[in-house]
Amino acid sequence: MIGRTRPVAALLWAALLGGPALLRAQDPMSRAFDLERRGSYAQAAELYRGILKDKPAEVTALLGLERALTPINRLSEILPAVQAAIAADPSASPVYAVGLRAYAAANLLDSLPRLVDLWARAAPGDETPFREWAAAALQRRDRSMARRAYQLGRERLGKTDALAAEIAQLAISEQDWITAVREWARAVRQLPGYRSSAIATLGPAPERSRPDILKALEKEEGTEPGRITVELRARWGDPLGALDALLKTLPPQPAQQLDALQGFLEQLRVESTPPYLLAQGRTLEEIADRWVGAPQRSRLRLESARAYAAAGDRPAARRMLTRIAGDSEGGPAVQAGATATLIDLLVREGKADEASTQLERYRTVLPVEDYLRLRRAVAARWGQSGEIGRAEALLAADSSVEAFALRGRFRLYAGDLKGASEMWATAGPFAGTREEATERSGLLALIQPIGPDTLLSFGAALRLFDGGDTLEAAKAFELVGRGLPADAGRSEVTLYAGRLYAMAGQSADAERVFRLVVSKDAPAASAAALLELGRLLLALDRREDATHALERMILDYPTSALVPQGRRLLDQARNVVPRT
Amino acid sequence: MKRRDFLGVVGAPLALGLGSPALRRLGALAWPWEASAAWLLVPMDDSQTDHLKAYGVTYRVLERGAKAEWFLNYRGGAFLLPGDAATTRDAALAGVACEPISDGQVTSIKAELGQGNMDAIPLEKPPKVAVYAPPNASPWDDAVTMVLDYAGIKFEKIWDPEVISKGLVKFDWLHLHHEDFTGQYSKFYLNYAGAPWLADMVARNQAVARQLGFPNVPADKRAVAQEIRAFVNRGGFLFAMCTATETLDLALASEHVDIAASYADGSPMDPDAARKMDWSQALAFQNAQLELSPNIPAFSDIDGHQVNSLDRRQPLGAFKLFNFSATIDPVATMLVQNHRDVIPDFYGLTTSFTRRTLKPSVTILADEPGAAWAKYIHGELGQGTWTFYGGHDPEDPQHQIGDPPTDLSLHPHSPGYRLILNNVLFPAAKKRELKT
């Protein structure tokens, strides 16, 4: 071991003793570079200076000197070397770039135009001198000097689109959107690769400026500004307008058209609101119409039909499904998908009987999961329309948690509060989506205080709500509440009715019902009602009334878990914190 | 209450020698509306549920004509409030934790105060608060107006016309924030040329200068600065933050020299201005070097952090509050009451104050240990006092123009904001004569 250590130690000693000697033996440039790497900037600078003394136009040494002087805040010392380098080789662009940075750092701003002038003469037609000048100005946050640099550059170069991207970004920093649009249009016409930068910088424009930006883009010639319009419209919540704009500016070649449409589709997929789903459906339809291979074309139409169905455009979904049916080369998977979508559509249209018939007819071609999902959808529709026995019978053999959750709802439709609670207890908290689980918890909390185990009117009211008639449901729940004893669910159900009135936009009824709930006998519901009342009044900008309701809630029900929410709303009502 | 009254009377009798055990905790925290008691103790240590609103509750007690006490260095600077229905209700609505206590318990606490670096300071009269701000100033862009609103402390906004027409006599406490008293629009004029907010600021300032008969905005702002100095001299309490601190003193010291860029007054800054400054007129600073470039949004080397000067900018650290003797130095002690003694720093156009430029008479209330600057300083002029606090927004350390407003309900325990509210309440204190 010792024997092996000695040669290593000897080598280390040699390295330590010999290192400086080795360093001395290197050429001055390598030594300077080494010193720079070790952080000995002052020594490195001296060496670079020495090199420049012999070879004033040695750009590598000049750049090294700049690097060495910058961290020790002595960049202005480079100026004599820069002047000597320019005198020795007036055509070397990097020397001027170093000079610009050095003059700016030394606060000798008056010298910059002269230096830029020299550089521009040395490199005619080059934008770099003006771009570097502006960069030095922007480094000092001097926008007006940057603007002067760009304008002078454009004049000297004699090109109306010179430095357009830079001017556009300067305009963005000053929120001058119209100038930015004009300059980005020039930039993308010159180099389409600028499009993503244009969209990235115009995208965050405030809402009030967006119509002007779109108008300004419409005035610009060429396809590239049109493509910016498409992406901005899609980003700003107008996907259908974006699609129309895209279809107007599609390139003539089919392959390029498909590229553009598919890129647009990807952009739409980030949102799942009806307008975006509708735009997805239309875009998929456009892609399918241009697609040559039949199986993929059918798959695209299927996807389009699903998007249309999800957006609520049933005729368009049916149109797609009909076209799939007419396409004999679609393949069994596509046919099965089309069948499932068609059944789904029938359910959404309220044609549950027809959906059930189709479901059983195509049972063998549908994947099992699709079949079970559609069967539950049919059952849900029957249950909601009052055919509870039929719905329950359809799900009798389904032991999934989703089926138990659905059966619980059927029990509730039938007014069987106890049965619903038991079914939902069996279904547990993971049946369906998170929103569905949360809604079930809310309903469980609502029926818990109700005295009787059976309450037919409750089921009828819930069916109205699930059927989409929120206002009638609110009225029905109010009646249900009125019929319950004060200590057995009256307040809770009436509060629920108030929330539905508010949801249906019936503020006066909501306010009346919330006020009805508040009583000493039901502290939990009263606190919740006062909070809802405060929220409602605040939304109506009746701040004083909202303040009164919220103060009452905090003072009368101090132990309520809702008090922190009440205090936050109270701060908003008093305008002492920003509204969020 | 003016400071001359504040210095006059012996107050806060201490009940000593009762020998009761320390009452650090009076049992579990109770919400005051659950019980009626002679007194409400508002703890300001970590058991407080909303430190900032506690100041508002105390202020409103004084507004109703009742008395309160400030227990310096006791449980983070606790307040003793009357246990009446109005106070109980107010604290409940504000979500301020209070502990109902009896006369006997108050006596025991006061006994404890006498045994350490603590004191009880009576609070008597709510100061009349003015905030100097242009009429269009956004309420969200000034830490003081934000916290006054959040705590529920009333204030009036005043600007150049009110100050020049001697309107300050109506007020006890004046706050200045990020105004530029050199009249150079915070030196944003060149860098933000074309920005609508800057155009509005310039037009508004030029109009008011003309309306008040001044040749230009720097002259108007200097006259305003001199009125503010006179306000302090007469016994007013001045609290300034951010760039108002530095520019107020620069304006006061530059009576006979042009320190404004040509875009502000038509003539360039005197290149020898630093030598010609009359620092005897300034409140806090002396011998500062002025920033000569109109392009750099910095005024002088008073600010230690130089946030807008790329090559001079210093990183943010944390500042530490000094510990003063509660009985000998009650004013300084009141100003540093807090449940934290080390607070993260935050930038402003003026973030800190270099020690080299501080006048010897200045009291440093907080500084960054080992750094060349102080954060929070205090001093006297004539019958009044001034306090300067560097930085823009204690809960938005990198504040940029156009940033969203700070929502103080998300920072109810902000130690940085507490320092502002200490300043609002301290003029309410009735002060015993100094022992030294």
Mutant choice from B409, B414, B417 vs A, greatest count of A C-beta within 10 A? B409
Phi, psi of A91 (to 5 degrees): -100, 0
- In this predicted structure, what is the pLDDT of residue B175? 95
pLDDT in tens, chain A (580 residues): 334 444 434 434 444 444 444 445 568 888 998 888 887 889 999 999 999 999 998 989 999 999 888 877 788 889 899 989 989 988 888 889 888 888 887 778 888 888 899 899 888 888 999 998 998 888 776 788 889 999 999 999 998 889 999 999 999 888 889 999 999 999 999 888 888 889 988 988 888 889 999 999 989 888 888 889 999 999 898 999 999 999 988 888 888 899 999 999 998 988 889 999 999 999 999 999 888 877 888 889 989 999 999 998 988 988 888 888 766 666 778 888 888 888 988 988 888 999 999 899 888 888 898 899 999 999 999 999 999 999 999 998 888 999 999 999 999 999 999 999 999 999 888 888 888 898 999 999 999 989 888 999 999 999 999 988 999 999 999 999 999 988 889 999 999 999 999 999 999 999 999 999 998 778 889 999 999 999 999 999 999 999 999 999 999 999 999 999 999 999 999 988 876 5
H helix or E strand, kind and range, residue A155: helix A143-157
Answer yes or no: do B407 and A578 touch at CB < 8 A: yes
Please give the pLDDT value at position B139: 57
Question: Does B271 contact chain A (CB < 8 Å)?
Answer: no
Minimal Cα distance from A139: which residue of B?
A: B310
From chain B, the residues in CB contact with A139 under 8 A are 310
Question: What is the Cα B115 distance to its own chain's centre?
Answer: 30
Please report residues of A whose CB lies closer than 8 A to that of B417. none
Place of tokens 């003193």: B249
Bridge partners, B239 (sequence order): B175, B387
Tell me what pLDDT residue B233 has.
Answer: 96
How far is the CA of A364 from the CAs of A25, A276, A331, A332, A336, in angstroms? 86, 34, 15, 11, 9
For the stretch B125-177, pLDDT in tens is 999 999 999 887 765 578 999 999 999 999 999 999 999 999 999 999 999 98
Write the residue in A555, A568, A576 that is nearest to B92 by C-beta: A555
B308 touches A: beta carbon within 8 Å: yes
Pairing of β B384-389 and β B237-241:
parallel
Mutation target vs B (from A108, A138, A140, A579; most B CBs, 10 A cutoff): A140
Report how far residue B159's alpha carbon sits from residue B130's, in angstroms, rounded to the nearest whole number.
10
- The answer to whether B431 and B176 have CB atoms below 8 angstroms apart is no
For B256-293, how does the pLDDT look when each residue is reduced to its tens digit (9 = 90+)?
899 998 888 888 888 888 889 999 999 999 999 998 87
Judged by phi (left if over 0) then psi (alpha if -120 to 50, else beta), residue A120 lies in alpha
Three-state SS across A65-130? Answer: HHHHHCCCCCHHHHHHHHHHHHHHCCCCHHHHHHHHHHHHHCCCHHHHHHHHHHHHHHCCCCCHHH
Chain A residue with Cα closest to B49: A564
* CB A478 within 8 Å of CB A513: yes
Helix (H) or strand (E) holding A484: none
Collect the ranges in chain B with pLDDT lower than 50: 1-35, 433-436
This complex has an ipTM of 0.77
Closest CA to B417 of B130, B87, B148: B148
- pTM for the complete prediction? 0.68
Among B149, B293, B409, beta carbon nearest to A568: B409
The residue whose two tokens read 């029957």 is A382
The confidence score (pLDDT) of residue A326 equals 66
Per CB-CB distance under 8 Å, the chain A contacts of B92 are 554-555, 558
Token duo for residue B427: 């003029």
Distances from the Cα of A246 to the Cα of A105, A230, A241, B149, angstroms: 48, 6, 9, 50
Q: How many interface pairs between A and B have CB atoms less than 8 angstroms apart?
A: 68
Q: Does A580 touch chain B (CB under 8 A)?
A: yes
* Residue B65 identity: G
Say how many residues make up chain B.
436
Contact yes or no for A554 and B195 at CB 8 A: no
Cβ of residue A8 closer than 8 Å to a chain B Cβ? no
Instruction: Note the pLDDT of residue A6.
Output: 45
| Residue A175 with chain B: CB contacts under 8 Å | 195-196
Across the interface, of A139, A568, A570, the residue whose CB is closest to B310 is A139
Interface of A with B in 101-140 (CB under 8 A): 105, 107, 109, 139-140
CB distance B95–A176 less than 8 Å?
no
Q: Which of B31, B191, B310 sits opposite A558 (nearest CB)?
A: B31
Q: Which of B53, B89, B188, B191 to mutate to test the interface with A (most CBs of A within 10 A)?
A: B191
Of B256, B267, B236, B221, the C-alpha closest to B384 is B236
Instruction: Give how far A74 is from chain B: nearest CA, Å.
Output: 11
Asked if the Cβ–Cβ distance from B149 to A554 is below 8 Å, we say: no
Are A175 and B195 a contacting pair at CB < 8 A? yes
CB atoms within 10 A of CB A15: 10
Query: With contacts defined as CB-CB under 8 Å, which chain A residues touch B407?
Result: 577-578, 580
